[in-house]
Structure 1
């Protein structure tokens, strides 16, 4: 524990935190969520020797599934069969997290929209166009808000 007053201003040196290592999400139905993140969003599911050694037993028991984005960010899904948000209406926030955003090449943005529509994914709003680019907001099977966004052309 830091004990002197100057310690209150202590901070990590900029650049100490290098990247997001992983994001862990609780999911109610593992098979539905695996299908969503793997088959609809197209993320690679880690299997066999790719699974982190600390999670091998949980993955084998069906309690965890791991996906990785092309930039190496791991998304861990933790099976919580009794999960239920405080409000069943996903448009009402039920967690401190706001949303998870995936970046996409601007040339592929419209394709992503079509895939979401084809799979009848519930859209929250969008697509929206801003000076920072385009985005579409939709829900994963547990009502967590996801965004696919791209930089302006």
Structure 2
């Protein structure tokens, strides 16, 4: 007899929004100037920087910007980063990961769904003062995160 029970899903509407976008950048100074001064995004400083990133921001390895709608853009310095093609018009990605926001009470069930579907987990779940997260890969190897704020 074949088990025909439906596989669990996280459920439509459970992932509430994109929490943040993280991009790998080759030159942090150039990228900070571009996102902050050219595009006019607000760079997080002082107490605005999440506690889990303060050391990396202080070391110049990460910069955080807030878009007008509240979405956070994280820049991760990767000085050895090179595009796979010399022509920048060729498609390639510099994205680090895409993070989805979920209600704290639904986080554990979402993790169970990932495990049930044998999704490749990079690391986590992790707990931080700012919340919990789990990092995993989509079928093409792009890293995703599901995270919730601290309760």
TM-score (norm 2): 0.58
Q: CA deviation at 1:57?
A: 0.5
Question: In 2, Cα distance between the equivalents of 1:96 and 1:61?
Answer: 21
Structure-1 residue corresponding to 2:45: 47
1:85 and 2:100 matched = no
Question: In 2, Cα distance between the equivalents of 1:57 and 1:73?
Answer: 21
Structure-2 residue corresponding to 1:95: 93
Any stretches of 5+ residues in structure 2 without a counterpart?
96-151
Question: In 1, Cα distance between the equivalents of 2:47 and 2:59?
Answer: 16
Relative to its length, the structure with more helix (as a share) is 1
Aligned residues: 93
Q: What is the CA deviation profile of residues 114-133 of structure 1, one whole-angstrom value per residue up to 9, with x for unaligned ones?
A: xxxxxxxxxxxxxxxxxxxx
Any stretches of 5+ residues in structure 1 without a counterpart?
98-153
SS of aligned partner of 1:26: strand
Q: What is the CA deviation profile of residues 29-82 of structure 1, one whole-angstrom value per residue up to 9, with x for unaligned ones?
A: 000000000000000000000001110000000000000101110000000000
Question: In 1, Cα distance between the equivalents of 2:38 and 2:53?
Answer: 24
Question: In 2, Cα distance between the equivalents of 1:84 and 1:78?
Answer: 14
How large is the Cα RMSD of the aligned pairs? Answer: 1.7
The higher relative CO (CA closer than 8 Å, separation ≥ 6) is in 2
1:33 and 2:31 matched = yes
TM-score (norm 1): 0.57
Q: CA deviation at 1:13?
A: 2.1
1:6 and 2:9 matched = no
Question: In 1, Cα distance between the equivalents of 2:29 and 2:4?
Answer: 51
